[in-house]
Amino acid sequence: MKSILKFSTLAMVAISVLFTACNPDDDIIIDPGTEGIQVGNGFYMASTAADPTASDVLVAETVEDDGFSSQDRTGFLANYIYVAAGSYNIVEITDKEITKSLGGTAETVTDMGSGCDHNDYTLVSLAEDGAAVSVGAGFYKVTYDQTTAELILIKIENAGVIGSATPGGWGADTKLEGSATADGGSWSATDVTLRGAGEYKVRFNCRWNLDRRIDPDAGFAADNAYQLFTNLGGSASDLLPGNDGPNIPFADGDDAIFTVTLNWTPADGFTLDLEKTDDAPVITFTPDDHQWAIIGDATAGGWDTDTDFNYEGFDSGTNTYTWKGASIDLIEGGFKFRTNDSWDENIGWGQVVLTGDTADFSDDGGNIKVAAGGVGNYIVVMTTNDDGTTYTADFAKQ
């Protein structure tokens, strides 16, 4: 057991008496110290080279539930921790003594949930008195699930804001550049245009979560393991893990250009600061007025029902608005694009630039004809970078 003996009680009594006798009028308080590791009861990410500190504690955190909500999971602990290079165990502290030490063999696992290729993380299957785990220096999300006896280490490579209030919409992160040390961290971006009435969240490594469920298609019951959060919501002044709070609202009429800064300290966790630096540019194009869809007898809805696209957001750097159809089935036939379930605004062959897997598309009296070779499932991305004067539709066959 680790134990730190600072002073004996008897010695401290003698010292206290001595000081009191020599200085009867002085109010001197001597901290006698206590034996053991100076942290509260709980589980810690502990280096083999030093006693754990309060910064290394793992605390209860929720996990994903149905309907973009969160749920408690018995024995699931987590925290964001700066880790110096070295060997580590998960230890349980009880009454300032190590009463359990957990370790195991680390393996690298790939999960393709990142939008910026940060897909690898470390998994350790823990056992009591198992070997210490070698960890490289960095800022990590650390989780310990007691039910599955597994340790997860996700190295935080970047932070970002994402949502309808941000330049990239819900489709792309606005990255915040920075780093962390044992004392704290800061990530920021300048010249970020935020617009109301929109929403946004903070997330790490361009990912919402990490899925550790046994069967990803079997829901979120406790016996199917768990899906942990890698994002923050709630409010700018009170950031909460994952779905514990709503998307962060951005008020209508507060449109402006900001320096956005995410700060972290071991004691206070994360805070978000928005510093206004300029007025937002005047909008000349309103994407809400252009809810694009695909329609035609080459689509599942025929000529009667639109297959809607999702608005992905605006890239202020390239002045590009983006809509996306994530899974569009095309059969032999024709189609066009239109907005708002109406023919008031529609485009077809010769009115939209077609890119990608479109070799089997052709003109059919203004409709876009799909030949037999073009039958299949597509991701369709529609963009304009000149405020709706021209459009490009990119087809990626799956």
What local confidence, expressed as pLDDT, does residue 25 receive? 37
What local confidence, expressed as pLDDT, does residue 15 receive? 29
Length, in residues, of the chain: 398
| Residue that the structure tokens 């804001």 belong to | 161
Kindly list the structural domains of the chain, giving each domain's residue range(s) and its CATH number in brackets, ordered by start.
1-36 (no CATH), 37-155 (2.60.40), 159-279 (no CATH), 287-397 (2.60.40.3620)
How many CB atoms lie under 10 A from the CB of residue 74? 9
What local confidence, expressed as pLDDT, does residue 104 receive? 98
214's tokens:
């046994």
What local confidence, expressed as pLDDT, does residue 284 receive? 84
What local confidence, expressed as pLDDT, does residue 343 receive? 98
What local confidence, expressed as pLDDT, does residue 33 receive? 58
Q: Three-state DSSP class for 44?
A: strand
What local confidence, expressed as pLDDT, does residue 170 receive? 86
What local confidence, expressed as pLDDT, does residue 28 receive? 34
**162 dihedral zone (left: phi>0; alpha: psi -120 to 50; beta):** beta
**pLDDT tens column, 311-320:** 998 887 788 9
Below-50 pLDDT ranges, the chain: 1-32
- Identify the H or E element spanning 232: strand 231-235
Q: With the C-alpha atoms ordered 331, 332, 333, 335, is the resulting torsion angle positive or negative?
A: positive
